[in-house]
Amino acid sequence: MVALPKLYVARLLPEPVMTVIRERFCLTAAPQVGAPNRTALRDGLREAQAAICTLTEGIDGDVLKAAPHLRVIANYAVGFNNIAVDEAKAKGVVVTNTPDVLTEATADLTWALLLATARRVPEGDRLVRSGAWTGWEPTQLLGADVCGKTLGIIGMGRIGRAVARRAKGFDMPVRYYNRTTLDPSTLNDQWRPTSWQEVLAGSDFISLHVPLTAETHHLIGSAELRLMRPTAYLINTTRGPVVDEAALVAAIQEGRLAGAGLDVYEQEPALHPGLRTLPQVVTLPHLGSATLNTRIQMGMICVQNILAVLEGRPAPNRVA
Ligand code: NAP
Ligand code: GLV
Ligand code: GLV
């Protein structure tokens, strides 16, 4: 019998994915719940020909050095800022991600966060459960209108466009800023490309969908927050370090921004102390792609990419 390829799986994935993985591969370590520490990561990778890692595993040059047999890393995420892709490339290790299958789930979650922030949904939930609710009240928990307001999108890629599509149901004009100029024939002609200044100054809700790179680190800082309307809300479901959290807290505390809906943080899972206490901030624990169906599809894509590389075929979702 031919030996099965050796695979390191950093985290326990949904059961249908684990079933396929156990049939097709020999695991170098028992997949765990919770992020592996560096020693466990290096141990798991030592004999591995392939790996499935998640966004919490930092794969840098040192980790790659400890993995001499590695041919492919399938990142269980569309974002791959956790991997030193240039070093992987230099070592001949293919890196893949999981685009498309998580686009709609992440766009849905972005809207959940936008609506929850504007209409103070978590505050309302806390009030009812606390037993302190005394009944309907004309001035209780008044929020902001969503319908008809302007939605600004920064990073008009797969998820940015899926978020924009949903704005139609809320009669919201969409304006966007993207680093490169996009071919208008690929976009809805109701979506207006705008300058950097205009997307910040002219939107009621600003939603971030750029990848985290050296260029987008603290893309939204003190200067950008000062351009936004004091009635505006910032929604971030991309990566925490795209926003300078200290500047965001200051802007909300000083009344320069109405609030923020956050799924991601600069130092996950740590929270900036200001974010913990501000009622105008809604916080979710990085749930963008967290539906069972999406998480199963992400796993299947990782398996397909790994099998392609090990069988000498091009990986469908190669990023490096
Ligand atoms: P994508 O299709 O590659 O879209 C990213 C867009 O951002 C592209 O249109 C890109 O355009 C643009 N962009 C890049 N750098 C920019 C800059 N400096 N300024 C303005 N625009 C810039 O990626 P996606 O599939 O939509 O995913 C986006 C990100 O969402 C991922 O990288 C990941 O971090 C995050 N995400 C989070 C969750 C979650 O659980 N919260 C789930 C899924 C994804 P050009 O490069 O052409 O200029
Ligand atoms: C999740 O954050 C992803 O990048 O897929
Ligand atoms: C509120 O419940 C209303 O009927 O306006």
User: Would the CB of 289 count as within 6 Å of ligand 2?
Assistant: yes
Q: Is the pLDDT of residue 1 over 80?
A: no
Rounded Cα distance between 50 and 72, Å, is 5
Pick the ligand that lies closest to the CA of residue 81. Answer: 1
| pLDDT tens string 40-66 | 999 999 999 999 999 999 999 999 999
Question: Which atom of ligand 2 is the closest one to the Cα of 239?
Answer: 2
Q: Is the pLDDT of residue 130 over 80?
A: yes
Q: Is the pLDDT of residue 212 over 80?
A: yes
User: Which pLDDT does position 2 carry in this prediction?
Assistant: 84
- The residues near 213 (Cβ < 8 Å, ≥ 6 apart) are 81
Residue at 31: amino acid letter: P
Q: Please give the mean pLDDT across all residues of the chain.
A: 98
Average pLDDT over residues 237-259: 98
Average pLDDT over residues 236-255: 98
DSSP bridge partners of 283: 262
User: Which pLDDT does position 177 carry in this prediction?
Assistant: 98
Average pLDDT over residues 212-218: 98
User: Which pLDDT does position 23 carry in this prediction?
Assistant: 98
Enter the CATH code of domain 103-283: 3.40.50.720
User: What DSSP string describes 226-288?
Assistant: HHS-TT-EEEE-S-GGGB-HHHHHHHHHTTSS-EEEES--TTTT---HHHHH-TTEEE--S-T
Rounded Cα distance between 295 and 300, Å, is 9
User: Would the CB of 79 count as within 6 Å of ligand 2?
Assistant: yes
pLDDT tier at 129, thresholds 50, 70, 90: very high
User: Would the CB of 210 count as within 6 Å of ligand 1?
Assistant: yes
Chain mean position to CA 299: 16
Average pLDDT over residues 293-311: 98
| Positions marked catalytic | 239, 268, 286
How far, in Å, from the CA of 97 to the mean position of ligand 1?
Answer: 13
| pLDDT tens string 60-96 | 999 999 999 999 999 999 999 999 999 999 999 999 9
Q: Where in the chain is the domain with CATH 3.40.50.720?
A: 6-101+292-310, 103-283
- Whole-structure pTM value: 0.98
3-state secondary structure labels for all residues of 127-143: HHHHCCCCCCCCCCCCC
User: Would the CB of 107 count as within 6 Å of ligand 2?
Assistant: no
The class level of CATH for 6-101+292-310 reads: alpha beta
Q: Is the pLDDT of residue 170 over 90?
A: yes
Q: Is the pLDDT of residue 141 over 90?
A: yes
Average pLDDT over residues 283-312: 98
User: What DSSP string describes 78-114?
Assistant: S--TTB-HHHHHHTT-EEE---STTHHHHHHHHHHHH
Q: Is the pLDDT of residue 320 over 90?
A: no
Average pLDDT over residues 174-193: 95
User: Which pLDDT does position 135 carry in this prediction?
Assistant: 98
User: Which pLDDT does position 21 carry in this prediction?
Assistant: 98
User: Would the CB of 302 count as within 6 Å of ligand 2?
Assistant: no
User: Which pLDDT does position 77 carry in this prediction?
Assistant: 98
Instruction: Please give the C-alpha separations between residue 28 and each of 58, 63, 105, 259, 263, in angstroms, as whole numbers.
Output: 19, 16, 31, 46, 32
Pick the ligand that lies closest to the CA of residue 156. Answer: 1
Question: Which atom of ligand 1 is the closest one to the Cα of 55?
Answer: 34
